[in-house]
Chain A
């Protein structure tokens, strides 16, 4: 980690370890987060369908990216199968709610089911690291994808399956405005949970495994247990996000959960910032909005150069690939780092140090 100037308000001294481990560092930060949640909650009063649907998708992808960030950012395990776990959550929730269990209960149940599957695929991962791990998770991506296409009883096979609309004691969450609150609820739960995880013994153990697994093991951290645990946590959130996605669209089909989705999740956490909780949300927003921005841009260029017009779909995909590469080369620590630097230079103006 490069040095980031992080000026705290004058007089804010941390005299105890407990004071140094608070969930939010300053009062203003707490207020800013609360204000953010309230602002999003007020959005349905102001904005129409498009903005709301984007907010919902950012929330859903944000939860999934957060899960991957626990695995990759905190524990240092690479996963190329996150998209498949996301898909598993979507199918599991559709299947559970199809069997007569209310959707709101089906969502966490789907999360637990995905967690179990993730831990099974995490078992080979417990012995592997780096490249071998990436390849093992690649295998789990393809095996799960094959399972989606084949398990008719569970996923509806190649036809896909219908996911029921969520309802809260008879109150149908059938519009974007209503569904937003369900997603917001889970976003808050997920982000508070992971931010808290970093403050617990288990969270510190995960970080120790990432930073130097041999030292961690010597200090009495059970590597196998924590690696599998981290796979479990990560796929739990993937499952929740997938379930929310399935019930939002109302229809789940196997084609949506390819390796490309897994790569997009990885791109989100790299662009947002590896190991950063808030970065997951930033990265999700970036990867979701970038192709749309590129489409607007390409359509604009197409009025001048008509040849661009048929290439719009490809330009969108190219922009994702280019964003990954450019961030890795130019800003490897992601948007969060950029934001911290901007804030620091603002606070310290006109003296840069």
Chain B
């Protein structure tokens, strides 16, 4: 038993899991307030990272300015997607909406491949890449920064939904659209805002991942990894999304450890979450924290 490797992997799991949690949170935000499953969430993450990178490298902007501009871009992009693509599909069956976001994801993938190329690109040095020793463990500062930033984003989310006027409006809409509308909330605007926030936060996650490792189109896989996470947490629970993200992050690394040390099957890292997903769906069809959909006739 290699204890230090195990602990190292667990720490990695927590840090990666936080990022999964953030993206899962964006996903749940859209689902909860607009009942749309966004299969293009991973592409949103990558798009944010690419735009920020292009602003830094091609336009020569300082990082913080580029970061800010890319967030504005993502906001506009999210609103556009909602208004142009999903508003006409209101009231259509689930499969149409799912297929629309899948179509969007294919389209975005191809476009980004074309514009930004197929290679992984590193950000120019923004922070120094040292390591910090915490309780006998070497943690890269970049990882630490991503961890802190994830916490900040989560805190902002909490504040937004607990205290801000718009956050409350969104919660009301998620609870019952008709009641929300009769209270004077513009449901259309709330929908657009849900997409905007989700796109912006995905963009933040993308930039963070880009800073920690590198930007490439294969990062979009995080959009797929989100599914096990949200199923663990329940599709409509924001707290569940974070817990689910952490669980999947840790689980991946545990699977890697068990596989590397004992089983030697290989590739457990990427498949284990999907086995867990199927098992959870068999036992609890609405996820661990999701609201069961009770139907009365």
Could you list which residues of chain A lie within 8 angstroms of chain B, going by C-beta atoms? 72, 76, 78, 123-124, 127-128, 130-132, 134-136, 138-140, 142-143, 146, 149-150, 214-215, 218, 259-260, 263, 266-267, 270, 274, 311, 314-318, 320-325, 328-329, 332
Contact B95 A78 (CB under 8 A): yes
- Residues of A contacting B285 with CB < 8 Å? 127-128, 132
Contact A149 B278 (CB under 8 A): no
Bound CA span A260–B282, Å: 26
- Residues of B contacting A150 with CB < 8 Å? 265-267
Contact A135 B88 (CB under 8 A): no
Partner of B103, one of A72, A130, A218, A324: A324
Which of A214, A274, A316, A329 has the largest count of B CB atoms less than 10 A from its CB?
Answer: A329
Does B151 make an interface contact (CB < 8 A)? no
Known: A78-B95, A321-B103. 9 other contacts (CB 8 A): A127-B281, A131-B235, A136-B278, A142-B270, A260-B106, A267-B103, A315-B114, A320-B103, A329-B89
Contact A78 B103 (CB under 8 A): no
- Residues of B contacting A320 with CB < 8 Å? 103, 106
- Residues of A contacting B297 with CB < 8 Å? 214-215, 218
Could you list which residues of chain B lie within 8 angstroms of chain A, going by C-beta atoms? 31, 37, 85, 88-89, 92, 94-96, 98-100, 102-111, 113-114, 224, 227-228, 231, 235, 265-267, 270-271, 274-275, 277-278, 281-282, 285-286, 295, 297
Contact B286 A132 (CB under 8 A): yes
Q: Please, which residue of chain B has its CB at the minimum distance from the CB of A316?
A: B110
5 A/B residue pairs, CB under 8 Å, sorted by A: A124-B281, A146-B270, A314-B110, A324-B103, A328-B99
Contact A266 B281 (CB under 8 A): no
- Residues of A contacting B99 with CB < 8 Å? 266-267, 270, 324, 328
- Residues of B contacting A332 with CB < 8 Å? 92, 96
Partner of B102, one of A130, A140, A263, A314: A263
Contact A318 B107 (CB under 8 A): yes
Given the known interface contacts A72-B95, A78-B94, A322-B107, the answer about A214 and B281 at a Cβ–Cβ threshold of 8 Å is no
Bound CA span A325–B95, Å: 12
